[in-house]
Amino acid sequence: MDQSYIIPFIKSVQNVFETMLQLPVQIGQPEIKHPGDSGHDVSAIIGMSGDVDGSVVLSFPTATAVRIVSLFTGTELEANHEDFADAVGELVNMISGGAKAQFPGKNVSISCPSVVVGQSHQVYGRKDVVAICIPCDSDCGQFNVEVSIRQGAGSPATAS
């Protein structure tokens, strides 16, 4: 995967959490995700298509997600509340939208988000696209942004 796709996500996740939650986020060293890596409790997933295609996953342990959603919505919501998934989905929507705006000259669309809630689940993307895990830390706990995208099949290849 083109490494230049990662920086926009780092900037965007910091911007979204700082602006909407007043929550600073510290970024760790991005790493390639491997099969069998530890699972997630809450995942918000969004697809990208157009000049860039693939998926973005925002994943949390349950306790972290509950704290973050409470900050975001101003209400204490348990993970099984219907509005909980809506809030987590909106976070991945803003992160992905903010990141794609930083892909110069690319026309990219994002899907409506999906949210998975379930202890220690795995999210698998396309086998032919490397997934990069961006570890994030905050006062609400640790979480990850997993980016698995590549140049879209329909867009012309550029010399590099």
Partner 1 sequence: MKVMLVDDSKTMRNIQKGILTQLGYTDLEEACDGLDALSKVGAFQPELLLVDWNMPNMDGLTFVKKYRELGHKTPIIMVTTEAEKARVVEAIKAGVNNYVVKPFTPDLLGERIKETLARIAA
- CA angle 59-113-132, nearest 5°? 40
Q: Considering the complex, what minimum distance in angstroms separates the CB of residue 32 from partner 1? A: 27
Name the minimum Å distance from CB 45 to partner 1: 15
In sequence order, what are the residues at sequence separation of 6 or more whose Cβ sits closer than 8 angstroms to the Cβ of residue 134? Answer: 6, 9, 10, 13, 27, 28, 30, 144, 145, 146, 147
- Which residue in the set 43, 55, 59, 93 belongs to the binding site for partner 1 (CB under 8 A)? 93
Site for partner 1 in 70-89 (CB under 8 A): 72-74, 83, 86-87, 89
Residue 142 interacting with partner 1 (CB under 8 A)? no
Q: How many CB atoms lie within 10 A of CB 81?
A: 16
**Smallest gap from residue 99 Cβ to partner 1 (A):** 10
Q: Which is nearer to partner 1, 73 or 155 (CB)?
A: 73
**Do 92 and 86 touch, CB atoms closer than 8 A?**
no
Tokens of 143: 């979480």
Q: Which is nearer to partner 1, 20 or 63 (CB)?
A: 20
Residues 19-38 that bind partner 1 (CB under 8 A): 19-20
Q: Which of 29, 38, 112, 127 binds partner 1 (CB under 8 A)?
A: 112
Q: Are 17 and 92 in contact (CB under 8 A)?
A: no
**DSSP assignment of 75-111:** S---TTSHHHHHHHHHHHHHHHHHHHTTSTT--EEEP
Pick the closer one to partner 1 by CB: 39 or 97.
97
**Which stretches of the chain bind partner 1, using CB under 8 A?**
15-16, 19-20, 72-74, 83, 86-87, 89-90, 93-94, 96-98, 100-101, 107, 110-112
